[in-house]
Amino acid sequence: MSHTPDRAALYINGDWRKPSTARTFTAVSSATGERIADFPEADRADVDTAVAAARGALGGPGGWASAQQRAEAMERLAAALESRAQALGTLIAHEVGTPLARAIDANVGAAAGLLRFYAPLADTMYAEDLRPARVGHSLVRREPVGVVAMIVPWNYPLSTLFFKLAPALAMGCTAVVKPSPATGLDSFLVADAVHEAGFPPGVINFLPAEREVGEYLVTHPGVDKVAFTGSTAAGRRIGALCGGLLRPVTLELGGKSAAILLEDAPLPLFLDHLLDLSFNNNGQTCTNNTRLLVPRSRHEEVVDAVTETVAGWQTGDPLDPDTVIGPVAGTAARDRVEGYIRRGREEGARITTGGGRPAGLDHGCYVEPTVFADVDPAMVVAREEIFGPVVTISAHDGTVEDAVAQANDSAYGLAGSVWTADEALGREVARAVDTGTFSVNHANFDIGAPFGGRRDSGLGSELGREGIEAYLQYKTIFVPSHP
Give residue-wise pLDDT tens across range 345-360.
Answer: 999 999 999 999 999 8
Q: Does residue 68 sit within a domain?
A: yes
For the chain, the residue count is 483
In a shared domain, residues 180 and 301? no
Say yes or no: 216 and 330 in one domain. Answer: no
CATH number of the domain within which 243 lies: 3.40.605.10
In 156-265 the beta strands, taken as DSSP E runs, fall at 174-178, 204-206, 225-229, 249-252, 257-261
Q: What is the pLDDT of residue 127?
A: 78
- Supply the CATH number for residue 367's domain: 3.40.309.10
Q: Is residue 223 part of a domain?
A: yes
Question: Do 211 and 303 fall into the same domain?
Answer: no
| The pLDDT value given to residue 1 | 52
Q: Given the DSSP bridges, would you call strands 390-396 and 370-373 parallel, antiparallel or unpaired?
A: parallel
Instruction: Please tell me whether residues 215 and 304 are part of one structural domain.
Output: no
| Average of per-residue pLDDT across 433-444 | 94
User: Please, what is the average pLDDT of the chain?
Assistant: 95
The active-site residue out of 41, 95, 143, 252 is: 252
**Under 8 Å between Cβ of 288 and 282:** no
Residues 79, 213, single domain; the answer is yes
Q: Terminal CA-to-CA distance of the chain, rounded, Å? A: 62
Torsion angle of the four alpha carbons 96, 151, 291, 306, in this order, in degrees rounded to the nearest 10: -20
What is the per-residue pLDDT for 483?
A: 59
How many other CB atoms sit within 10 Å of the CB of residue 431?
Answer: 10
Q: What is the pLDDT of residues 157-197, one digit of tens each?
A: 999 999 999 999 999 999 999 999 999 999 999 999 999 99
| pLDDT score recorded for residue 351 | 98
* 469 domain-assigned: yes
Same-domain status, 195 and 278: no
**266 and 249 share a domain?**
no
Average pLDDT over residues 239-258: 96
Total domains, the chain: 2
pTM here? 0.94
| pLDDT of the residue at 140 | 92
**Residue 209, phi-psi category: left (phi > 0), alpha (psi -120 to 50), beta (remainder):** beta
- Same domain for 171 and 263, yes or no, is no
212 and 327 within one domain: no
**If 0-12 CB within 10 Å is exposed, 13-18 middle and 19+ buried, where does residue 126 land?**
exposed
pLDDT above 80 for 306: yes
Does residue 193 belong to any structural domain of this protein?
Answer: yes
Q: Tell me the CA distances in angstroms from 342 to 50, 245, 304, 337, one per residue in order.
A: 44, 41, 22, 9
Asked if the structure places residue 1 within a domain, the reply is no
Chain centroid to CA 416: how far?
A: 16
Which helix (H) or strand (E) segment holds residue 425: the answer is helix 423-432
Q: According to the model, what pLDDT value does residue 276 have?
A: 96
Q: Are residues 248 and 358 in the same domain?
A: no
pLDDT above 70 for 482: no
Q: Averaged over 394-408, what is the pLDDT?
A: 97
95 as an active site residue: the answer is no
In-domain check, residue 42: yes
Residues 321 and 188 in one domain: no
Which pLDDT score is estimated for 4? 75
Q: What confidence tier does 408 reach under pLDDT thresholds 50, 70, 90? A: very high
Answer whether residue 3 is part of any domain. no
451 within domain boundaries? no
At residue 3, the pLDDT reads: 63
Same domain, yes or no, for 36 and 157?
yes
Domain with 276, as residue range(s), is 257-446
Q: 58-72, 107-121, 267-281, 329-343: which has the minimum mean pLDDT?
A: 58-72
